């Protein structure tokens, strides 16, 4: 039987693996993150952090953590959807000029610049080659939605105590 704790730990592991994949693409494939990419990273980091913290708490807090994780997943999915819209409409701006400075001023960007700092020259419309047939924002949307669904199912799962 899957416990809430094991699901939270599995979701945290998946979110951290996604962040590791993003860092691989950035540092080894030279795919620099745009502002929308970094916002999606924040969503996956939030999911991982929330799930890791709440996995060690009592059952009620684990359910609350799953609910907060759902919100983070929906935020990531919404950002990825907006990113896909921007890619489909290249004349629209991703807000690089407006978002770059405030995002780089956030504490995580100063503490972990290799993860959360927006590249000054990265554009949200930069066409990178698909990975297994999907673009990076499509992968982000897919995984944000999958993690949100898993956490929602965990949130609404009945606890059976024997």
Domains and CATH numbers, the chain: 4-156 (1.20.1550.10)
Asked if residue 137 has pLDDT above 80, the reply is yes
Asked if residue 161 has pLDDT above 70, the reply is no
Please tell me the pTM assigned to this model: 0.84
Asked if residue 96 has pLDDT above 70, the reply is no
Average pLDDT over residues 45-70: 90
Average pLDDT of the chain is: 84
CB 101 within 8 A of CB 16: no
Report the SS3 class of residue 153. Answer: helix
Read off the pLDDT band of 16 (50, 70, 90): very high
Q: What angle (nearest 5°) sits at the alpha carbon of residue 35, between those of residues 29 and 39? A: 95
CB 51 within 8 A of CB 147: no
Relative orientation angle of helices 59-88 and 35-55, to the nearest 10 degrees = 170
Burial of 46-55, coded b for 16+ CB within 10 Å and e otherwise, reads: bbbbbbbebb
Burial of 88-99, coded b for 16+ CB within 10 Å and e otherwise, reads: eeeeeebebeeb
The Cα–Cα gap between 141 and 106 comes to: 24
Q: What is the pLDDT of residue 162?
A: 42
């Amino acid at each position: 039987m899957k416990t809430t704790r094991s699901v939270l730990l599995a979701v945290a592991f998946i979110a951290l693996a996604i962040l590791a994949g993003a860092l691989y693409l950035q540092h080894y494939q030279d795919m620099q993150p745009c502002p929308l990419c970094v916002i999606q990273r924040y969503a996956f980091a939030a999911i991982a952090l929330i799930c890791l913290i709440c996995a060690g708490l009592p059952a009620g807090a684990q359910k609350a953590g799953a609910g907060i994780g759902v919100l983070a997943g929906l935020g990531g999915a919404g950002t990825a959807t907006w990113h896909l819209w921007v890619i489909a409409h290249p004349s629209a701006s991703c807000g690089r000029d407006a978002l770059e400075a405030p995002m780089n001023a956030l504490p995580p960007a100063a503490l972990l610049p290799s993860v959360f700092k927006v590249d000054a020259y990265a554009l949200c419309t930069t066409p990178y080659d698909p990975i297994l047939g999907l673009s990076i924002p499509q992968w982000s949307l897919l995984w944000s939605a999958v993690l949100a669904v898993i956490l929602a199912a965990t949130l609404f799962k009945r606890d059976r105590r024997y």
